[in-house]
Structure formats: structure tokens, C-alpha cells
Structure 1
Amino acid sequence: MKKRTLVLGASLNPTRYSNIAIKRLISSGIETLALGAREGRVGNVVVEVEKKLFSDLDTVTLYLNPERQKEYYDYIVSLQPQRVIFNPGTENVEFIKILKNSGIEVEIACTLVLLSTKQY
């Protein structure tokens, strides 16, 4: 099963980790969606700026610092993903508790490392 993934905090800048993650997810055959501050494209993935109600998400991978995550708490919970990955620098005890209380798995890890080690 391919793990449909939303990259939250997606950047159009090719040097940013979120941008690299989108490209690696695609090259790994994972259906990838993206939500960021600026509209555009990363490869064939459209970076959305509106909080759309994506369905059938396996994973939300975060590239937002804890302060910026606050406006997305309810949104992410409403998407009901199987898991949320907190990439380095995004760890957030408050949000982790909210997710766990909502029955959503939490993983503190690096998406790029998970992909490169085939643990994604």
C-alpha cells in the first residue's frame, strides 16, 4: 500500500527540506500532496495555500515550527491521518498530546531518513 502523504509547510525553494521531501516522496512512488504559504509547484505536485479537506491520508509530515503549527491543530485532526511525522525542529509536546488523544499515531523522525532507509 502506498502511503498518501500531505507535506505541511511545503516550500517552493529547492534548498528547503520540505521541497526535497516532496521530490523524494514522489520518486518513492508515494502519492504526495502539499500545503504551503505560497502557491506553486514542486515537480508535478501543486502546492496549495488553502486548507483543503484531503481524504484517505496515511501521513502528514510537518515542516512548520511549533508556533506556526497552532493554527493547523484542528485542521490536521480533522483530516484523520494515520500518523503525523514531526521532522527535526518541529517537535511540539502540546500538539503531540492532542494528536494522541485523537487516536493519531505520532512519529518524531526525519521523513528523508525514513525514506532513505526504507522505513517510511
Structure 2
Amino acid sequence: MKTLVLGATTNKERYAYKAIHALTDNSHQVVAVGTKDGMALDVKIETTKVPFIGIDTVTLYLNPKNQQEYYDYIVSLHPRRVIFNPGTENPEFYEILKQNNIEFEVACTLVLLATKQY
């Protein structure tokens, strides 16, 4: 399963970085998009809306206002689900995902991984 971390960062203190670490530790394939080029562990952070193929899950680390420019991009990737981590909850986007038959979950990627529910 391939996961897109949206809102990725090279800052080791941020949850997006910790999620990349936890996902790779749990043998998940990870791709990442953020605002600044760089590497998070062995994962290259892209700064453009790369048309990745085979995305199962998008895990969000962007506040609702910053998500808006990514609505069409996320839908175009046809993920199975989108995870809204704490602070990213967005009822407007939930409706768009429902209209496109994309599951969504309001949860914490780190907790899901730690409890083997990912």
C-alpha cells in the first residue's frame, strides 16, 4: 500500500515527519508533498502536485484552509481513503470526498499505526 503524506516536512519535531518515519518503519511505501524541497528519511518531499499512481491512502497534515488548493489533486489520485489527522478536520472536504466515493477517517496516523489499525 502506498501512502501520500501531504504537508510533509524535514522538521523532525513535526507530526508529518513522525508519520513518514512510522509508516516506513511499518514497511509502507511512502511518497510526500510539502512546501519545501528536501528529504524526510529516505523519502523525497515533492513541491508540486505529482500525479502519483497507486495511492491507497492520503494522510493530511494541512489545516483546512491550506487543503483547498489540493481538493482536485487528491480526488484525481483516486485514493481508497483520506486520513484527517488532528487539526485537519474539514467538513467541506468530507462532502467532496463522499461525492467521489472516497472513504475518509478522522484519526491520527501515528495512533493507527501504533495500534495496528492502519
Q: Same fold judged by TM-score > 0.5?
A: yes
Cα deviation for residue 11 of structure 1 reads: 1.1
Report how many aligned residue pairs link the two structures. Answer: 118
Query: Helix, strand or coil: the match of 2:44?
Result: strand
Where structure 1 has 5 or more consecutive residues not aligned to the other structure, the ranges are: none
> 1:35-84: CA deviations, max 9, x gaps?
00000001110000010000111000000000000000000000000000
2-structure distance, mates of 1:66, 1:40:
24
Counterpart among 99, 111, 114 of residue 113 in structure 1: 111
Of 36, 39, 42, the match for 1:38: 36
Any runs of at least 4 consecutive aligned residues in structure 1 with deviations exceeding 4 A, and if so which?
Answer: none
Letter of the aligned partner of 1:57 in structure 2?
Answer: I
Are positions 1:8 and 2:10 aligned together? no
- For residue 59 of structure 2, give the secondary structure of its aligned residue in structure 1: strand
Report the equivalent of 2:62.
64
DSSP-derived class of the 2:39 partner: strand
Q: CA deviation at 1:95?
A: 0.3
Aligned residues: percent identity?
58
